[in-house]
Amino acid sequence: MLPSLTTTQMIEVDRAMLEDYHIELIQMMENAGRALAELSRRWLGGDVRAKSVAVLCGSGGNGGGGLVAARRLHTWGANVIVALTKSAGDYRGIPAHQLDILQRMGIPIVESAALLPPPSLILDAIIGYSLTGSPRGAAAELIRWANAQSAPILALDVPSGVDSTSGEIHDPAIRAAATLTLALPKTGLLQAAAKPFVGELYLADISVPPELYARMGISVPPLFAASDIVQVAQV
């Protein structure tokens, strides 16, 4: 059976990758964003040219992955627009670096859901596994906007508003058509109450060393031997 991770375990995976294996956050973020862009391409029929994609990005690592996906989709020919949960000047660290690239490329960036046109596809990169309580402010506004659209939503790692460990559904919460979770499934995504919000569940390779899992007492088969995105069967 495929193992799953709690939020605490995923925090430890991230820590060990950074501190013990020197796999930098920007590397993990690039892997996550590239995988999200690739899954988006599949959902758009294999060719993103002239397709409109709204990418909703928080200010943390999850949002940084969304910004990477936005860059790749733009270079592939999609009409991308990015919506932020904070003013661009309030982004820090590597997410700010990713945002700076998009600004230099001239990709449209807005700070209000009211400025978003109806898209062909929506990417949810608002809140990852760091959720604490119900989404508020601009994050909540973007979630409600996304759920009101007819376009499918692809969530990165965890649908925003869903607790990654317990599966508790906060108000508001993204109702995703599919979720691309990173490394291993989060325990909350497998809970019955969460499944209508998770949609189809996919797993993306962010290059976690098998030795890291072994140190944590977790046995993981070579999941990505054939592809760096795999669909997870849900029962």
pLDDT tens series, the chain, 235 aa: 789 999 999 999 999 999 999 999 999 999 999 999 999 999 999 999 999 999 999 999 999 999 999 999 999 999 999 999 999 999 999 999 999 999 999 999 999 999 999 999 999 999 988 888 899 999 999 999 999 999 999 999 999 999 999 999 999 999 999 999 999 999 999 999 999 999 999 999 999 999 999 999 999 999 999 999 999 987 6
Position 1 in a domain: no
Position 99 in a domain: yes
User: 128 CB contacts (<8 Å, ≥6 apart)?
Assistant: 58, 60, 61, 62, 156, 157, 158, 164
Beta-bridge mates of residue 178: 154, 200
**Half-sphere exposure of residue 64: CA atoms within 13 angstroms, side-chain side:** 18
Position 2 in a domain: no
What pLDDT does residue 234 have?
73
Position 199 in a domain: yes
| Distance in angstroms (rounded) separating the CA atoms of residues 69 and 32 | 8
Is residue 154 within a helix (H) or strand (E), and if so which, with residue range? strand 153-156
For the chain, how many structural domains are there in total?
Answer: 1
Burial of 111 (0-12, 13-18, 19+ CB in 10 A): middle
Angle at 160 between CA 19 and CA 63, to 5 degrees: 50
| Distance in angstroms (rounded) separating the CA atoms of residues 159 and 198 | 6
Position 156 in a domain: yes
Position 94 in a domain: yes
Position 87 in a domain: yes
What is the bridge-based pairing of β-strands 121-125 and 109-110? unpaired
What pLDDT does residue 177 have?
98
Domain that holds residue 114: 7-232
Position 53 in a domain: yes
Two tokens at 57? 């990005």
| Distance in angstroms (rounded) separating the CA atoms of residues 1 and 3 | 6
What pLDDT does residue 133 have?
85
Neighbours of 3 (CB within 10 A): 15
What pLDDT does residue 235 have?
62
Asked whether 200 and 22 are in contact (CB, 8 A), the reply is no
- CA separation, residue 97 to residues 93, 104, 191, 224 (Å): 6, 11, 35, 29
What pLDDT does residue 12 have?
95
Query: Domain holding 25: CATH number?
Result: 3.40.50.10260
pTM recorded for the entire structure = 0.96
Asked whether 185 and 208 are in contact (CB, 8 A), the reply is no
